[in-house]
């Protein structure tokens, strides 16, 4: 079984468990009017990648914000490098100390396309989609995991799914 299939199956099971419980899921995530910084450390096809998110608790059950992801390229493995930033909306579904969220977004992407000894850089725009699960350690700190996919549009050479990564995530609310 591929890792991405396993992650998708686990995500669906967690979502159904959090949403279809006898008691309605409570508001969670970033409280209305508060801010949060999320730090990401993950792995993708090119190796370790880093990310940073900013969230603003816009309403009781969702937040809005921006993301930045940097994925290194690898010329020895012909793996493309990606730098992207954009904006997202993040509905939260919480139960107890657990916070499940989905996060559709849209951003600007710079892909370093590696083919043997040749490299080209392409700039494009496109959507992103993330799914995550966080556990509250304290009312202001949480840890968890997130899977994010980035898609590029309007480029005939590159484009399509640019990157998919699985990251460990740390959230601090202030």
Q: Tell me how long the chain is.
A: 174
Give the phi and the psi of residue 10 in degrees, each rounded to 5: -60, -40
Give the whole-angstrom CA distance, residue 125 versus residue 43. 22
Counts for the chain of helices (H) and strands (E), in that order: 1, 8
> For the segment 37-68, what is each residue's pLDDT rounded down to a tens digit?
999 999 876 678 899 999 999 998 899 999 99
Give the whole-angstrom CA distance, residue 99 versus residue 167. 16
Q: What pLDDT sits at residue 152?
A: 87
Structural domain count, the chain: 1
> For the segment 112-145, what is each residue's pLDDT rounded down to a tens digit?
877 667 777 888 899 999 999 999 999 999 999 9
Which ranges constitute the DSSP H helices of the chain? 3-19
What's the CATH number where 47 sits? Answer: 2.40.160.20
Task: Please tell me whether the overall predicted TM-score, pTM, comes out greater than 0.85 for this model.
Answer: no
Q: Are 150 and 161 in contact (CB under 8 A)?
A: yes
Strands 62-71 and 47-56: antiparallel
Range of the domain at 72: 3-173
> pLDDT tier at 11 (50, 70, 90 boundaries)?
low
3-class DSSP state of 76: coil
């Amino acid at each position: 079984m591929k890792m991405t299939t396993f992650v998708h199956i686990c995500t669906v099971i967690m979502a159904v468990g959090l949403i279809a419980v006898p008691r309605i899921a409570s508001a969670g995530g970033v409280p209305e009017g508060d801010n949060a910084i999320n730090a990401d450390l993950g792995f993708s096809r090119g190796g370790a990648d880093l990310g940073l998110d900013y969230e603003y608790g816009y309403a009781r059950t969702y937040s809005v914000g921006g993301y930045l992801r940097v994925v290194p390229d690898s010329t020895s493995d012909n793996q493309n490098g990606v730098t992207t930033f954009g904006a997202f909306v993040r509905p939260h579904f919480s139960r107890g100390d657990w916070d499940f969220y989905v996060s559709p977004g849209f951003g600007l992407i710079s892909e370093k396309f590696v083919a043997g000894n040749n490299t080209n850089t392409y700039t494009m725009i496109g959507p992103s989609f993330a799914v995550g699960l966080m556990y509250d350690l304290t009312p202001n700190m949480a840890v968890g995991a997130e899977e994010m996919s980035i898609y590029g549009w309007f480029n005939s050479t590159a484009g399509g799914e640019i990157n998919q990564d699985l990251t460990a995530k740390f959230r601090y609310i202030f």
